Amino acid sequence: MDYIFINGKILTMTTGKQPEAVLVKGNKIHSLGSLHTLNKVATNPEIIDLHGNTLMPAMTDAHTHFVATAMHQMTLDVSGCQTEDEFYKRMVDYRDNQESMLKGLGAEASPATTAWVQGFGWQKGLVDKYQNINNRLIDKVFPDIPVSIASKDLHANLVNSKVLEIINNDCEILQYKQAPRYSDGFLGEHSWTLLSKYRPDLNKALQKQLINRLINQCAKYG
């Protein structure tokens, strides 16, 4: 089905004259121009009146970290935790259900998916209030696997003792330690990027699969 959109503010994301209409073929933008011209190109189009509303490309990224969000489908999410007990339970649930979660994403357990647990979502107010939220709490759930959990703003990391062992002699990372709480597993600004050299990478096929999955989820919202 072809669609022609008219009577709206059309954002082309480029400079130039405002087009009168947009032709969509096969769910893709085909061309811009006058209604008269696009009618000649279209096949039995449905004319959609925007009634003065704005039309813009669906995948305009307004600093959303889309790829990172796609990868988060496989990560330990502690966002929204309000207590130490909630934080602990979230980790236990992830550990106990990791295999079924991977299957649900169409992924198999492998060194790239299980050798290092990544997480995100804690907030400073939470860890300030509950001093037991630290590397030792993570060690109770994951004593043998490296775990790094980024703060909600991605400007700090909480890591377990296994990670501290791995980076013990890495001066590049240690300069970002958050003294005096480094011994508790807190690493500051830039540590997220620097830790990436130790974490195993997901293969390209799985990354693409996760991105496409998120695109389909977003498409449901129009």
The terminus-to-terminus CA distance of the chain in angstroms comes to 17
Amino acid of residue 73: Q
Which residues lie across from 25 on neighbouring strands? 2, 28
Confidence bin at 35 (pLDDT 50/70/90): very high
> Would strands 157-159 and 147-151 be described as parallel, antiparallel, or unpaired?
antiparallel
DSSP state of 167: T
Q: What average pLDDT is seen over the chain?
A: 86
Per domain, the residue ranges of the chain are 2-55, 66-212
Query: Any idea what DSSP says for residue 7?
Result: S
Which tens digit of pLDDT belongs to each residue from 172-205? 766 666 655 677 999 887 777 778 888 888 888 8
pLDDT at 53 over 70: yes
Q: How confident is the model at residue 73 (pLDDT cuts 50, 70, 90)?
A: confident
66-212 is classed CATH 3.40.80.10: no
pLDDT of residue 178: 62
Computed from CA positions of residues 119, 124, 126, 127, in that sequence, does the dihedral angle turn out positive or negative? Answer: positive
64 — pLDDT class (breaks 50, 70, 90):
confident
Residue-wise pLDDT for 125-144, tens only, equals 999 999 999 999 999 999 99
Over residues 62-84, the mean pLDDT reads 87
Helix (H, G, I), strand (E, B) or coil at 69: helix
Cβ burial of 152 (10 Å; 0-12, 13-18, 19+) is: middle
Per-residue model confidence (pLDDT) at position 47: 95
Q: Is 27 a residue whose pLDDT tops 60?
A: yes
- Cis ω for the linkage preceding 146 (within 30 of 0): no
Q: Candidates 2.30.40.10, 3.30.450.40, 1.20.950.20, 2.60.40.10; correct CATH number of 2-55?
A: 2.30.40.10
Q: Is the pTM of this model over 0.75?
A: no
